[in-house]
Amino acid sequence: MEVKAFYWEGSFLRLLDQRELPEREVWLRLDHYKKVAQAIKDMAVRGAPAIGCVAAYGFLLGVKAGEDPKVVYETLKNTRPTAYNLFWALDRMKRALELGKNIEEEAKAIEEEDYRANKRIGQIGKELIPEGAKVLTHCNTGALATAGWGTALGVIRSAHYSGKKVFVWVDETRPYLQGSKLTAWELLKEGIPHKIITDSTAGYLMRKGLVDCVLVGADRITKDYHVANKIGTYALSVLSKSHRIPFYVVAPKSTFDMNSHGEDSIRIEERSQEEVKNIKGIAIAPKDSPALHLAFDITPPENITAIITEEDIIKP
Ligand code: MRU
């Protein structure tokens, strides 16, 4: 069954609240651009392509309500700093408005194009997955993180539906647990065999020969192929290199920031330390110990075997 994270309902956006998964499927009704901005900030929706699509509808809501487009644009832009798709989608909406285009059609096009890109990525990427492969993935890059199907998880889906036997190691992905909460939920729904592991288990599994390849998504890719993705991705790339395991980054072209160069050109989001020190309101650390919560890290091109896009396979 295909999972969907949001639906445009003509006058509001219906959004699956990912903070409530896997226990409950709660749908939010977002009828104001500020509610959309808040949902992105609070991670009710997350994953770079999904953030981009939802922000486009947020822009539409604001402009339709007669708000100042500049204010709407800035408010939505200032939600999460790393996911490039957010900026890409908002710029596209702004341009469409300036050109007098139908911005509702533009937002729908952004969503549809992302879905089609993911399906195409899946077709291209599945060829790289060996029959019977044990694949390791990090964070959630599935239907929930996109307009549907997914990027890295989309490749796994495509391989599975093409009849290949695939097994997935799911990194739980501390501190937000996108792996154990969301990726496992998606895999379970589709009957794809998997096991959740703590993030620190990956290296030992690699040493034991239990990982055939690693597939991750991206939040932003620079012109020279530095990849920002969920914290822990860089460590996986180093481990993969050291164990000679293919390390694939999977992303649509809308994640490529052609104006950035080198790792210092990417702003890494720093989130509240409380998200590290508490799980669902329960403290798991001394209240007075400070914690560092970087949401993303950067993987250099030399650690990447290939970047799979809807157009090509790039070997950095
Ligand atoms: O903080 P998140 O959950 O928005 O981070 C998501 C990721 O890091 C994903 O790997 C990335 O956005 C690609 S999703 C197709």
Query: Rounded to whole angstroms, what are the CA distances from 127 to 53, 102, 167, 172?
Result: 28, 38, 16, 26
Decide which of 117, 132, 164 is a domain's last residue.
117
The answer on 245 and 161 residing in a single domain is: yes
- Interatomic CA distance for residues 203 and 62, integer angstroms: 47
Helices (H), the chain: 33-41, 48-64, 69-77, 84-98, 103-126, 152-161, 184-190, 202-207, 233-242, 274-277
Q: Which residues are catalytic?
A: 219
Residue 316: count of CB within 10 angstroms of its CB: 17
**What's the mean per-residue pLDDT of the chain?**
97
Which residues lie closer than 8 Å to 158 by C-beta, 6 or more apart? 119, 122, 123, 125, 126
Sign of the torsion formed by the C-alpha atoms of 112, 218, 267 and 48: positive
Band of the pLDDT at 18, cuts 50, 70, 90? very high
Task: Report pLDDT digits (tens) over 42-74.
Answer: 999 999 999 999 999 999 999 999 999 999 999
The answer on 283 and 179 residing in a single domain is: yes
CA–centroid distance, 51 to ligand 1, in Å, is: 9
Predicted confidence at residue 306, as pLDDT, reads 98
Which residues lie closer than 8 Å to 129 by C-beta, 6 or more apart? 135, 155, 156, 159, 164, 166, 213
| Residue ID of nearest Cα to ligand 1 atom 8 | 230
> Per-residue pLDDT averaged across 143-153, rounded?
98
The DSSP symbol for 299 reads E
**Rg of the Cα atoms in the chain:** 19
Task: Report pLDDT digits (tens) over 112-134.
Answer: 999 999 999 999 999 999 999 99
Decide which of 85, 117, 149 is a domain's last residue.
117
For residues 67 and 236, is the Cβ–Cβ distance under 8 A?
Answer: no
Which residues lie closer than 8 Å to 191 by C-beta, 6 or more apart? none
Band of the pLDDT at 183, cuts 50, 70, 90? very high
CA–centroid distance, 141 to ligand 1, in Å, is: 6
| Residue ID of nearest Cα to ligand 1 atom 6 | 47
Residue 313, classed as helix, strand or coil, is strand
The answer on 234 and 207 residing in a single domain is: yes
- Interatomic CA distance for residues 86 and 166, integer angstroms: 32
% of the chain surpassing 90 pLDDT: 99
> Per-residue pLDDT averaged across 135-164, rounded?
98
Within 6 A (CB) of ligand 1 lie: 46-49, 83, 139, 141, 145-146, 151, 178, 217-219, 229-230, 295
Band of the pLDDT at 2, cuts 50, 70, 90? confident
> Per-residue pLDDT averaged across 167-190, rounded?
97
For residues 185 and 20, is the Cβ–Cβ distance under 8 A?
Answer: no
With respect to residue 221, please indicate whether it lies within any of the assigned structural domains.
Answer: yes
Residue 194, classed as helix, strand or coil, is strand
CA–centroid distance, 171 to ligand 1, in Å, is: 13
The answer on 141 and 43 residing in a single domain is: no
The pTM assigned to this predicted structure is: 0.97
CA–centroid distance, 99 to ligand 1, in Å, is: 31
Decide which of 91, 117, 143 is a domain's last residue.
117
The answer on 243 and 211 residing in a single domain is: yes
| Residue ID of nearest Cα to ligand 1 atom 10 | 217
Residue 100: count of CB within 10 angstroms of its CB: 7
Determine the atom of ligand 1 nearest the C-alpha atom of 46: 4
Q: What total number of domains does the chain contain?
A: 2
The answer on 138 and 94 residing in a single domain is: no
Task: Report pLDDT digits (tens) over 33-49.
Answer: 999 999 999 999 999 99
> Per-residue pLDDT averaged across 249-271, rounded?
96
Longest Cα separation, the chain: 60
> Per-residue pLDDT averaged across 154-168, rounded?
98
Domain coverage including residue 130: 124-314
Predicted confidence at residue 1, as pLDDT, reads 65
The DSSP symbol for 16 reads E
